[in-house]
Protein backbone atom coordinates (compact mmCIF):
# COMPACT_ATOMS: atom_id res chain seq x y z
CA UNK A 1 0.00 0.00 0.00
CA UNK A 2 1.27 3.44 -0.86
CA UNK A 3 2.41 5.37 2.17
CA UNK A 4 3.21 9.08 2.09
CA UNK A 5 4.38 9.08 5.69
CA UNK A 6 7.09 6.56 5.04
CA UNK A 7 8.34 8.57 2.09
CA UNK A 8 8.25 11.76 4.12
CA UNK A 9 10.24 10.12 6.91
CA UNK A 10 13.03 9.11 4.62
CA UNK A 11 13.75 12.71 3.60
CA UNK A 12 16.30 15.13 5.03
CA UNK A 13 14.94 18.66 5.29
CA UNK A 14 17.14 21.73 5.05
CA UNK A 15 17.41 24.94 6.94
CA UNK A 16 19.01 28.26 6.20
CA UNK A 17 22.69 27.85 7.06
CA UNK A 18 22.74 31.38 8.48
CA UNK A 19 20.82 30.16 11.51
CA UNK A 20 23.36 27.51 12.37
CA UNK A 21 25.34 30.03 14.37
CA UNK A 22 22.54 32.47 15.10
CA UNK A 23 20.07 29.98 16.48
CA UNK A 24 21.17 26.37 16.55
CA UNK A 25 24.44 26.91 18.33
CA UNK A 26 22.85 29.29 20.79
CA UNK A 27 19.87 27.20 21.76
CA UNK A 28 21.05 23.66 21.30
CA UNK A 29 24.15 21.58 21.73
CA UNK A 30 24.29 21.21 17.98
CA UNK A 31 27.65 22.12 16.56
CA UNK A 32 29.56 21.09 19.65
CA UNK A 33 28.32 22.44 22.90
CA UNK A 34 30.52 24.25 25.35
CA UNK A 35 30.47 23.12 28.94
CA UNK A 36 28.54 26.17 29.85
CA UNK A 37 25.71 25.22 27.57
CA UNK A 38 25.86 21.63 28.64
CA UNK A 39 25.29 22.75 32.19
CA UNK A 40 22.08 24.40 31.13
CA UNK A 41 20.49 21.09 30.30
CA UNK A 42 16.77 21.33 30.25
CA UNK A 43 16.80 24.92 29.14
CA UNK A 44 18.31 24.04 25.82
CA UNK A 45 17.82 21.36 23.21
CA UNK A 46 20.29 18.59 23.08
CA UNK A 47 20.22 18.07 19.36
CA UNK A 48 19.77 20.25 16.34
CA UNK A 49 16.72 18.41 15.09
CA UNK A 50 14.93 18.88 18.40
CA UNK A 51 15.30 22.58 17.90
CA UNK A 52 14.19 22.08 14.29
CA UNK A 53 10.99 20.44 15.45
CA UNK A 54 10.48 23.15 18.02
CA UNK A 55 10.97 25.89 15.45
CA UNK A 56 8.53 24.13 13.14
CA UNK A 57 5.76 24.09 15.72
CA UNK A 58 6.50 27.68 16.64
CA UNK A 59 6.25 28.67 12.97
CA UNK A 60 3.16 26.53 12.53
CA UNK A 61 1.27 27.94 15.50
CA UNK A 62 2.29 31.49 14.72
CA UNK A 63 1.63 30.91 11.04
CA UNK A 64 5.09 32.18 10.20
CA UNK A 65 5.58 30.71 6.78
CA UNK A 66 8.78 32.03 5.25
CA UNK A 67 10.46 30.54 2.24
CA UNK A 68 14.22 30.15 2.52
CA UNK A 69 15.67 32.63 0.05
CA UNK A 70 16.93 31.00 -3.15
CA UNK A 71 20.40 32.39 -2.69
CA UNK A 72 20.74 31.28 0.91
CA UNK A 73 23.16 28.49 1.68
CA UNK A 74 21.33 25.49 2.99
CA UNK A 75 22.31 23.08 5.66
CA UNK A 76 20.87 19.88 7.09
CA UNK A 77 21.57 17.30 9.77
CA UNK A 78 22.46 14.55 7.31
CA UNK A 79 20.00 12.33 9.13
CA UNK A 80 16.58 11.39 7.71
CA UNK A 81 13.55 12.39 9.72
CA UNK A 82 12.87 8.79 10.67
CA UNK A 83 16.11 8.68 12.64
CA UNK A 84 15.45 11.84 14.56
CA UNK A 85 15.39 11.05 18.23
CA UNK A 86 15.68 7.35 17.78
CA UNK A 87 19.39 7.03 17.87
CA UNK A 88 20.31 9.38 20.63
CA UNK A 89 21.25 6.43 22.82
CA UNK A 90 19.92 8.27 25.80
CA UNK A 91 17.68 6.04 27.83
CA UNK A 92 15.84 8.93 29.36
CA UNK A 93 14.74 10.43 26.10
CA UNK A 94 11.72 9.13 24.30
CA UNK A 95 11.31 7.81 20.84
CA UNK A 96 10.26 10.50 18.37
CA UNK A 97 8.34 8.42 15.82
CA UNK A 98 4.99 9.58 17.15
CA UNK A 99 6.19 13.15 17.01
CA UNK A 100 7.09 12.55 13.37
CA UNK A 101 3.51 11.50 12.70
CA UNK A 102 2.13 14.69 14.20
CA UNK A 103 4.50 16.82 12.17
CA UNK A 104 3.47 14.92 9.07
CA UNK A 105 -0.23 15.27 9.77
CA UNK A 106 0.17 19.00 10.30
CA UNK A 107 1.99 19.26 6.99
CA UNK A 108 -0.74 17.33 5.26
CA UNK A 109 -3.24 19.75 6.75
CA UNK A 110 -1.30 22.76 5.57
CA UNK A 111 -0.17 21.58 2.15
CA UNK A 112 -2.37 21.81 -0.87
CA UNK A 113 -2.56 18.30 -2.16
CA UNK A 114 -4.93 17.10 -4.83
CA UNK A 115 -5.49 13.69 -3.34
CA UNK A 116 -7.84 12.71 -6.15
CA UNK A 117 -5.18 13.39 -8.72
CA UNK A 118 -2.64 11.59 -6.56
CA UNK A 119 -4.87 8.55 -6.19
CA UNK A 120 -5.63 8.58 -9.87
CA UNK A 121 -1.89 8.67 -10.54
CA UNK A 122 -2.14 11.99 -12.33
CA UNK A 123 0.54 13.51 -10.11
CA UNK A 124 3.68 11.81 -8.85
CA UNK A 125 4.22 10.99 -5.20
CA UNK A 126 7.59 12.70 -5.39
CA UNK A 127 5.99 15.98 -6.25
CA UNK A 128 3.67 15.77 -3.27
CA UNK A 129 6.49 14.84 -0.89
CA UNK A 130 8.64 17.65 -2.19
CA UNK A 131 5.79 20.01 -1.52
CA UNK A 132 5.33 18.68 2.01
CA UNK A 133 9.03 19.01 2.80
CA UNK A 134 8.94 22.53 1.43
CA UNK A 135 6.14 23.34 3.84
CA UNK A 136 8.15 21.80 6.64
CA UNK A 137 11.17 23.93 5.79
CA UNK A 138 9.15 27.12 5.45
CA UNK A 139 7.34 26.86 8.77
CA UNK A 140 10.61 25.94 10.48
CA UNK A 141 12.33 28.82 8.80
CA UNK A 142 9.60 31.12 10.07
CA UNK A 143 10.07 29.74 13.57
CA UNK A 144 13.84 30.15 13.38
CA UNK A 145 13.55 33.76 12.30
CA UNK A 146 11.18 34.42 15.16
CA UNK A 147 13.60 32.80 17.62
CA UNK A 148 16.54 34.68 16.20
CA UNK A 149 14.77 38.01 16.66
CA UNK A 150 13.69 37.09 20.18
CA UNK A 151 17.23 36.11 21.03
CA UNK A 152 18.69 39.28 19.69
CA UNK A 153 16.19 41.35 21.62
CA UNK A 154 16.64 39.67 24.99
CA UNK A 155 19.22 36.93 25.13
CA UNK A 156 18.86 36.79 28.90
CA UNK A 157 15.24 35.66 28.65
CA UNK A 158 16.49 32.40 27.25
CA UNK A 159 18.17 31.63 30.54
CA UNK A 160 14.75 31.18 32.08
CA UNK A 161 13.93 27.51 32.36
CA UNK A 162 10.43 27.98 31.05
CA UNK A 163 11.11 30.51 28.32
CA UNK A 164 10.95 28.20 25.31
CA UNK A 165 7.82 26.67 26.76
CA UNK A 166 6.32 30.12 27.27
CA UNK A 167 6.97 31.02 23.64
CA UNK A 168 4.90 28.02 22.57
CA UNK A 169 2.17 28.84 25.09
CA UNK A 170 1.89 32.38 23.78
CA UNK A 171 2.04 31.41 20.15
CA UNK A 172 -1.72 31.30 19.66
Partner 1 sequence: MIIKKVTIENFLCYYGIKEFEFSKGLNIILGENGEGKTKFFDAIEWLLNTSYSSNEITLISQKALTEVTGRESFQVSVKLTCEHDDEIVYITRQFRVSKLKDESVETTKSILEGVKESRTGERDIVDGKQWLDIVFPPEIRRYSMFKGESSLNILKEDASLSNLINLFSDAKNYDKYASKIEFLRVEAEREVSENTRINTKKKAEFESLEKQIILAQQKKSQIEEQLDRLEQNTNTTIELVKEAEKFVVNATALENINKRIDILNERKQKNDAKIEENYTTSLLDDFWILMHFEPIHNEFSRKIQESEIAKRQLQQEFDISKGETKGRRILQAKLMNNSSPLPIGVPNKAVMVEMLKDEICKVCNREAKEGTEAYQYMENNLKQFLTSLEPEKNIEEDEVIFKNNYLKSLVNMSTNHDTSILKFRSVIPEIQDKFDFNKSREEDSVRFQEQIDKEKLERTKILGDSSLGEDRLLDVIKNYNQWQTDIINANRSKVTVEYQYKEASESLSSKIELRDKIGEQSANNYLIKKRDLLKDIEKIFKETKERKFDEFLKKLEDKSNEILAKINVDAFLGKIIFIKKRSTTNHTGINVELVQSDGTPFISPNQSLETSMHIAVLFAISNLAAGKKLEEYPLIFDAPTSSFGESKTSTFLNLLHNNTNQKILLLKDFVAKNDDNKLTIKKEFDLVKRNKAFWVRLDRPFDNGKLSTINTLVSEI
Among 87, 94, 130, 154, binds partner 1 (CB under 8 A): 94
Give the range of 30-38, 67-75, 140-148, 162-170 binding partner 1 by CB under 8 A.
Answer: 162-170
Give the range of 65-73, 75-83, 140-148, 159-167 binding partner 1 by CB under 8 A.
Answer: 159-167
165 forms part of the interface with partner 1 (CB under 8 A): yes
DSSP string, the chain: ---HHHHHHT----EETHHIIIIIHHHBSTT---HHHHHTBTTBBSSHHHHHHHHHHHHHHHT---PPPTTS-EE--SS-GGGTTTT---TTSPP-HHHHHHHHHHHHHHS---HHHHHHTSS-HHHHHHHHHHHHHHHHHHHHHHHHHHHHH-GGGGGSTTHHHHHHHTT-
Q: How many residues bind partner 1 (CB under 8 A)?
A: 46
Among 11, 110, 134, 150, binds partner 1 (CB under 8 A): 110
Closest CA to 86 of 49, 140, 32: 49
Minimum CB distance to partner 1, residue 35 (Å)? 14
Q: Which residues, 6 to 25, sit near partner 1 by CB under 8 A?
A: none
Site residues for partner 1 per CB under 8 A = 1-5, 41-46, 50, 53-54, 57, 60-61, 85, 93-94, 96, 98-99, 101-102, 104-106, 108-110, 115-116, 118-121, 125, 161-162, 164-165, 168-169, 171-172
Amino acid sequence: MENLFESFRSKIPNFNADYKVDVFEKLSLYGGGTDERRDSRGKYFETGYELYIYAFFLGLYRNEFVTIPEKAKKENFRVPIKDWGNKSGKILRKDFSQMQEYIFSALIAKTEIDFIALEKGEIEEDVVIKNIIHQFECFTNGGLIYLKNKYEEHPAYFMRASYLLDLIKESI
